[in-house]
Structure 1
């Protein structure tokens, strides 16, 4: 077997460049840096890093100060160069200085982030590239804070939030997933202990820190009282309290957010009823009932949820709790409900995804006139039913073709393919209406053109 030829020595790879030797590479770098200020700064910083962390920190400070003090407006032509400069500073801080001194690196990273307000005011950035650059560095900021630890990082982050809340609330919130639980917990305590209840952006940060540190009480305390009456908020509170084994508090949170009837109007003779609870509230009610040990009522609530939403998860939870044979009866009940669901397409989608193909085919044949072919999976459903239930598959293909024509698509390749498949299925199912179906499509083409 012939040997594979070696990689060309002219290819730009690190091993090939190493062959040039240190002196030659140094000369080439000096030549490149002579006409590029960014490269010159980068090389100076690399050399400073070889001397030690304080020297590298000093070089970083010089550039951070220059960028922060500048008032020169940056056009869209100059923006890419500025972004390259900021990326270089970020990499030197995260990749080089952090290895030498975590505290110095974290301080410079905070200084790098503090450049943003001034830069945003003088940089023409219609695409938002500058904001994306800073948002993308929040994970590295959190990692540096975690490496430094609570004692060093928390006072700096707390001060940043106190003096520059708008930007820092967003950055800490974005990076909280990369923040160590120890730092998150210490920052949470610093922001809340002995201080007024947080509001606005600070409350959002507190909730994210509480989630990261696992402090449920702090998370709840940061939710405004008015929001707790909203079903979408109260349901989350109730679910988390139930998961923590605090059933009584979970029940209180759930009931406080139960939808209520709108206030009666003096012009209305009849009071309006309370709106039905949203799906998340129903799911929370199940969790609360389970935490209270009310298993029978919890299963009844699961049936209510399923019958309203056709939630597969709710049905699986019901089935999992039933003994043998009873689960069969429960499935029959669920499939019958799905087949008669007020939205026939959603009911069919549930039956096909479970899967319950026999019940799906029976539903299609029984409610074919109600079905529309707008669902993107209609043709796929027909293909799955075609082998055993060709009549149901034929109904779905025809519905899909009619819908596409009535949407103005014309006789596209997709429609022609559906017609061809429908013809084959019509023969298999003993259906003699294919010619009339095609004639109807052509009539629709003229009507809906």
Structure 2
């Protein structure tokens, strides 16, 4: 049973309304955020309209503010924004959807002036605006806004999407827009597409940046932004209307051959029941198998081949994908489609292929993911010279996976990280490297044969000879 002093709603109720009110006044003293929250709650208790007035005032204040928001004062801002958004969604919109929608649009309009003075490297602030944007569809539907008016509002919003606050807006508004609204929205965006940004007289050109291509001017940046917005909006509208051909039309023939774009087109064609057309786009993509191939293209090709019942071709491609990427998902999918008993031999061949891969680190990652600690251990020993000690994301789990049965392999994984840290003088990693050396000492007692590798005491002696002046590391080793 919870203590009567545990902070929960039931226990606090026993204090009574008067005492709780006194405590709230005391706690909110010196906290503008807490005071605003209390005023908002009081306004909401009177009526949704009063809550709306309070929200509108606060949004105006945030939009007009000029002080810079950094990581130190970002949290109170986020709390404030979340309070205003919560009031719109929970206190105002349920009783007055039209007012809630108007305030939600006003909330979204705060984004541009706010981000001009805000450091949002953590992405927390934009997350609040994405939550607000997601609520627009449901509230617009409840408000019964005319499709044309809603489409016009969407156009204004998309033209003010410099910080990505309206990303996904068209899909969000789709139920409220309906066919009529989507049609009107398409007309408006197409009209914008035909209206390039005017080029001012050359003496009025405003330089806004410099690069390898020369000077970039304000009107050029504005034109690029307009073209980007139009293109993205028309693609989103095509998706909302289920018009695959309109989506394809947004890409020129050359761009359609980019593997990632070809995969996007093929996925939509497949969803529309046009598998043959989908395969055509996939096969026409310009793929260089000697270089990195987008995962999206590979996965989409497999889905399309399966949809066309070209299972043998799909299996061959699945194996090819594994052999080029060492992605365990492709191998698992390949093996589970094989007849009984054939999968064992195929798995062994796949293990041999991974062990002989031209790059040791991805092979190690594969053996860890499969998992095959015995193979991982053998690779660490046989190809130790190839292991890059900077890849601690592979080597730490490799040491853990192999330490019980293969202490020499675990030691070599740890040494690779130690050697890299000391040879590159990565002082921030000295503490980790010292712990790795301690782990090597613990493993040494279980290694009967070091083979061609140095025994632990010889290795430590060499480290002291080569890196004895790196006092920061040795202080960690000595526990100082």
RMSD: 4.7
Q: SS of 1:136's equivalent?
A: helix
Output aligned runs, 1:5-154, within 5 Å. 6-7=4-5, 15=13, 18-20=16-18, 46=42, 50=46, 59=53, 63=57, 74-76=66-68, 90-115=85-110, 125-127=117-119, 136-149=128-141, 151-152=144-145, 154=147
Is 1:163 matched with 2:156? Answer: yes
Shift of 1:247: 1.6
Is 1:399 matched with 2:416? Answer: yes
With over 3 angstroms needed to count, the CA separation of the structure-2 counterparts of 1:133 and 1:430, relative to structure 1, is: closer
Which range is displaced more, 304-313 or 38-47?
A: 38-47
In the other structure, the counterpart of 2:446 is 425
Q: 1:192 aligns with which of 161, 186, 189?
A: 186
Q: Distance in 2 between matches of 1:40 and 1:279?
A: 49
Output aligned runs, 1:359-378, within 5 Å. 359-376=375-392, 377-378=394-395
With over 3 angstroms needed to count, the CA separation of the structure-2 counterparts of 1:185 and 1:405, relative to structure 1, is: farther
Q: Is the 2:408–2:447 Cα contact (8 Å) retained in structure 1?
A: yes
Shift of 1:302: 1.4
With over 3 angstroms needed to count, the CA separation of the structure-2 counterparts of 1:396 and 1:44, relative to structure 1, is: closer
Q: 2:347 aligns with which of 304, 322, 331?
A: 331
In the other structure, the counterpart of 2:244 is 217
Is 1:318 matched with 2:334? Answer: yes
Q: Distance in 1 between matches of 2:228 and 2:146?
A: 23
With over 3 angstroms needed to count, the CA separation of the structure-2 counterparts of 1:60 and 1:208, relative to structure 1, is: farther
Shift of 1:75: 3.9
Is 1:253 matched with 2:281? Answer: yes
Aligned length: 417
Q: Distance in 2 between matches of 1:108 and 1:335?
A: 60
Q: Distance in 2 between matches of 1:374 and 1:37?
A: 45
Q: 2:231 aligns with which of 193, 197, 203?
A: 203
Which range is displaced more, 245-254 or 160-169?
A: 160-169
Q: Distance in 2 between matches of 1:383 and 1:135?
A: 37
Q: SS of 1:173's equivalent?
A: coil
In the other structure, the counterpart of 1:265 is none
Shift of 1:417: 0.9
Q: Deviations over 1:127-159 (max 9, x none)?
A: 359x96576144334425314418516444421
Q: Deviations over 1:90-139 (max 9, x none)?
A: 44433322121112211232234335556777xxx24359x965761443
Q: Is the 1:93–1:105 Cα contact (8 Å) retained in structure 2?
A: yes
With over 3 angstroms needed to count, the CA separation of the structure-2 counterparts of 1:171 and 1:427, relative to structure 1, is: same
Q: Deviations over 1:176-210 (max 9, x none)?
A: 77x37623655544422697397521432454566
Structure 1 residue runs of 5 or longer lacking an equivalent are 261-272
Query: Which TM-score applies when normalising by structure 2?
Result: 0.68
Q: SS of 2:339's equivalent?
A: coil
Q: Deviations over 1:366-425 (max 9, x none)?
A: 323333433324244234334433443444344343333323356953243143034223
Output aligned runs, 1:207-356, within 5 Å. 207-208=235-236, 213=240, 215=242, 217=244, 220-221=247-248, 223-225=250-252, 226-242=254-270, 244-259=272-287, 277-356=293-372
Q: Is the 1:382–1:392 Cα contact (8 Å) retained in structure 2?
A: yes
Shift of 1:315: 0.6
Q: Distance in 1 between matches of 2:400 and 2:134?
A: 51
Structure 2 residue runs of 5 or longer lacking an equivalent are 194-226, 472-480
With over 3 angstroms needed to count, the CA separation of the structure-2 counterparts of 1:85 and 1:406, relative to structure 1, is: closer
Q: Is the 1:53–1:97 Cα contact (8 Å) retained in structure 2?
A: yes
Q: Distance in 1 between matches of 2:408 and 2:35?
A: 72
